[in-house]
Chain A
Amino acid sequence: MAQWIRGQYMKNNKLYISIIVALVTALLILVSQATQASAINDTSHQVSVIVNDSNSDRWIRFRAGLDQAAKDYNINLNYVTTTKLDTFSQEKTLIDEEVGNGTEAVILQLVNDTTDSQNYITDMSHKTTLALVEAGLETSPSNKSYGVTQDDNAGMGEALAQMVIDRTDNHTKETIGIVTGDSFSAKARYNAMVKLFAEKNITVSWVIPSTEELPFKLSEQSVSTVVTLDNDTLEETATLFKDAKQKPQLYGVGCSDKSIYYLDNGKIAGMIVPNEYTMGYLSLSKVAMYLNDHLYKISDSVVNYFTITKENLYSTENQKMIFPIVG
């Protein structure tokens, strides 16, 4: 009996020791894995940015935002060099190349908003992390698996119209010509703008999609004000008006240094400047947060804009946003 009890003691003793040693070893493995996980968290993620005409100076502020977010979140940013993209198939090729090269996420400016492009983006969003900038939220499906960061297009259209209205003494004599440009953001801007013009009984004389036919239109039917709805058409129109003796007042949406220069020397009467820095920073920071924690949901964002004239261009507040401090 005594021997049996001693035998049981020995058995129990060995069992307890085995359990404790197993527990401590498991703990050791856990801590070791935590150390490795901590090291993995320190590694940087690869994110590609594809925007139309990437070297245009209109992206300076946007890129400054991207760079700051990349620094804050330790992102290895690949800013893909592009020329002016005319079709979505060109953009699609670039996206496929980046995904094929192992990028973990793509920040994308859609060159146009078609059913094909939407379908492709929906498919691609299941293969990689996507964040869109300047995409029409109106056409995005409600159950989409990508985030969209874009301008307040309707707000910008209204603000642009309001600026024209505020600077006009006699609304009934005011005639407006609009150059929409080919960006799909322009659609929302246009709708909001013409709605406000209609409310104020301001006549929109003509609407053209690009500046190519602007000289002809102006010779055909002169207007007191020309409004453009994106940066490219604003720059082109201002260049056209640069040396003209009789020229309409020019207003538009712009964000390049060239547009600002034209505003500064009076070629442009007023501008709506989107907050591209915030757009760049938010789009990448959300992607980075998702890459660090897949439970994070990339939400949509709408960024603000600034109403700038020659008079307030150098105000303390405006100059901080209009003239980015980029090293």
Chain B
Amino acid sequence: MAEKKRTKLSKFFFKRKSNTTPLSIRGIILVTFTVVSISSVLLTSFVLYQQFEKHSRQLITDSTERLTEQAAMRLENHLTTMREISDALYYDAIKDADFGQSNVNDQMNTLYEANSTNLVSFALYTKNGQLLSAAPTLVQKEGLDVTQEDWFQNALENEENLHFSVPHVQNLFDSQTNRYYWVISLSRAVVITTNGVPQEGVLLVDMNYSSIEQMFNEVNDKTNGQYLYLTDSEGEIIYHPRQMQINAGLYTENNLQEAFYDDGVHKEIYQGSSRTSINDTISYAGWKMISIIPSTTFSLGMNNYRYFLLMVIIIVILAIILINRLVAQRISSPLTDLDEAIQTAEEGKPLIPANYEGGSREVQLLGRTLEGYRERNAQLMHDIVVEQEEKRKSELDALQAQINPHFLYNTLDSIVWMIESERKKDAVFMVTQLASLFRISLSRGDTIIPIEDELKHAKNYMNIQTARFKDAFIVTFHVDSEIQRYCTVKLIIQPILENAVYYGVNNMDEDGIIAVSGWKENDDIYITVEDNGFGMPQEVVDQLLDSSNKHAPHHGSGVGLINVHERIQLRFGADYGLSITSEADHGTKVTIHLPAVLYTEENHERLENGTMDPGAIHEKQ
């Protein structure tokens, strides 16, 4: 199963549809490295971001929790101070006073002046709602009945406790200045002595709401989206940073739910948004302090980090792509160079070590191995060519060894006859031609000679034959001088001329004509030997170049056209050689087809050694 999967993966990455161009090794390395690197970077970034966000959330929650605790402590201290003021007023002044003979106005004013920042007023009422003392000195509003006020009733209902009201506008005194104060009333039941008779009364300390508001505003102004608010035990809002908006119906708060949460951290969904609330109870008053951290607070802090992270990721990806490109190039370039070297090696050139030396150990090994194979292959090829050539040479030598005595006998016989006939000039000419013929035949043992020499050899031969046959036929040479500097295999025209003499024009009643022509056409050279002799039927023509008949007995020189044909092909390839056309009683035309390879030292050397690729012959001109 695993193997199957691996195969599929391998096919996915490395095997493309047959009709599409396969990826280069550099492309595969680049794509693979880049995908793996980018995936790793993204995965790592995602995990790190998650961890960072979690940590950041925890930090914000912790700091808000601490802030809530500190604010709760400050509020408790404030309320304790208010209670202590109330205690001081009650136990140090009211309890000792007899209101039938005096009042506590002085003590009240002194205490008020000392705490005027946090207080709006003191007021002491009898059980019937009659004002006994107040500070600062103010005129009570006409027709006021404080016994109907909540703070008054709460104080008398539960005499042991101090009672904190929710914030309200003080409605006791006529300030004469159009000013109204938001207060939180701290009321308690007190015992008032009038002419020695104790009676119940209510002491009211109206705390300045703006002190508490300011205390919380300072906290809320420092936060980043999170805020805290205060409710009483029933969820009635005492302080909220958006108090006026809530009053105007422009904002809503979940105070009626949150006031009943236990102390601690809570997650909730309110109006479709998630948020965190942190509750803390003000034990002294039973109030609830609630801090809210909206989800946007977390995201606000993370936005810059997100953008920063995104930019870093993009830069890293950019760097990865560029580095991977360099790495891919570094890895693939020796292979590419080796590949190019192999392409050129197909043309017979050796692999250059520099092409693979810069690569990895494997590439170097591969390069050396291929070079070894190439060298062995070239050696084998060379050996085969040499062997074939040797074989041909020995065969040719053997054939020539058979011909030469016969041809030499006839020629020498003609020379003797000329001398006896006192034709000394003709004899000298014959000897000269014979000497030149043999010189070119030998050609220092070379197989490849210039066409110029081959033509000279043919002319020498025909001069001897013309002399021998007493001008029984005419020989013409029309060869473009341009082709004379190109290469040819030696002794390829003479055998054709010999066949033309013996089987073409000899014994003709009329004058026989043998025409030799030569020209260059594109990258090819053509040399034709045409006679107007007896010609041959097509079946004879077909047999002439059939290799199965090459050992059949021959007349004349004994060197068959097949021999010439194969020697040309052995050197220049199967595209070259002889072609023969003949018609009975009209003559025969033999065409030699050669590649146009300039006779240079290099080309001569390579053709001689058989190391020139027939396909590359033209490219080397």
Contacts and interface: CB of A to CB of B under 8 A. Distances in A.
A20 B217 CA distance: 53
A32 interface: yes
B182 interface: yes
Interface in B309-354: 310-311, 314-315, 317-318, 321-322, 325, 336, 339-340, 343
Interface string B241-275: 01111011110000000000000000000000000
A27 B314 contact: yes
Given A13-B24, A257-B179, A65 B244 contact: yes
Contact of B321 (A24, A68, A320): A24
A28 B311 contact: yes
A257 B178 contact: yes
A174 B47 CA distance: 81
B243 A281 contact: no
Contacts of B579: none
B304 interface: yes
B469 to A, nearest CB: 56
Contacts of A27: 314
Contacts of A2: 339, 343
Contacts of B214: 327
A261 to B, nearest CB: 4
B210 interface: yes
A261 B21 CA distance: 92
Interface string A40-84: 000000000000000001000000110010000000000000000
Interface size class of chain A, counting residues whose CB lies under 8 Å from the partner chain: 35 or more
A178 B249 CA distance: 33
A17 interface: yes
Contact of A325 (B141, B182, B322, B340): B182
B243 A325 contact: yes
Given A28-B315, A314-B169, A327-B210, A320 B247 contact: yes
Contacts of A16: 27
Interface of A: 2-3, 5-6, 9, 13, 16-17, 20-21, 24-25, 27-28, 31-32, 34-35, 38, 57, 64-65, 68, 257-258, 260-261, 264-265, 275, 277-278, 281-282, 314, 316, 319-321, 323-325, 327
A201 to B, nearest CB: 34
Contacts of B248: 65, 275, 277-278, 281, 321
A16 B27 CA distance: 10
Contacts of A321: 247-248
A31 B30 CA distance: 26
B20 to A, nearest CB: 12
The 3 closest A-B pairs by CB, nearest first: A320-B247, A261-B178, A35-B307
Contacts of A320: 247
Tell me if A's interface is mostly helix, strand, loop or mixed: helix
B247 to A, nearest CB: 4
Contacts of B310: 31
B213 interface: yes
Interface string B220-260: 00000000000000000000001111011110000000000
A327 B213 contact: yes
A38 B168 contact: no
A282 B250 CA distance: 9
Interface in B526-568: none
B209 A28 contact: no
A327 to B, nearest CB: 6
Contacts of B242: 68
B174 A265 contact: yes
B235 to A, nearest CB: 14
Interface in B282-327: 303-304, 307-308, 310-311, 314-315, 317-318, 321-322, 325
A316 B322 CA distance: 71
Contact of B244 (A13, A277, A319): A277
B377 interface: no
A3 B343 contact: yes
A24 B141 CA distance: 76
B307 A325 contact: no
B378 to A, nearest CB: 20
A314 B24 CA distance: 87
20 contacts: A2-B339, A3-B343, A6-B24, A13-B24, A24-B317, A25-B318, A28-B311, A31-B311, A57-B178, A64-B244, A257-B178, A265-B141, A275-B248, A316-B168, A324-B244, A325-B209, A325-B213, A325-B243, A327-B213, A327-B214
Given A13-B24, A34-B307, A323 B169 contact: yes
B244 A35 contact: no
Contacts of B210: 327
Contacts of A3: 340, 343
Contacts of B163: none
A6 B336 contact: yes
B372 to A, nearest CB: 22
B589 interface: no
Contacts of B174: 265
Nearest to B217: A327
Given A3-B340, A6-B336, A257-B178, A31 B24 contact: no
B169 A319 contact: yes
Given A6-B336, A13-B24, 15 more contacts: A3-B343, A6-B340, A9-B24, A9-B26, A16-B27, A31-B310, A35-B311, A38-B303, A57-B178, A65-B244, A277-B247, A282-B250, A321-B248, A325-B244, A327-B213
Nearest to A36: B307
Contact of A13 (B26, B141, B304, B307): B26
B180 interface: yes
Interface in B341-389: 343
A191 to B, nearest CB: 27
A264 B170 CA distance: 12
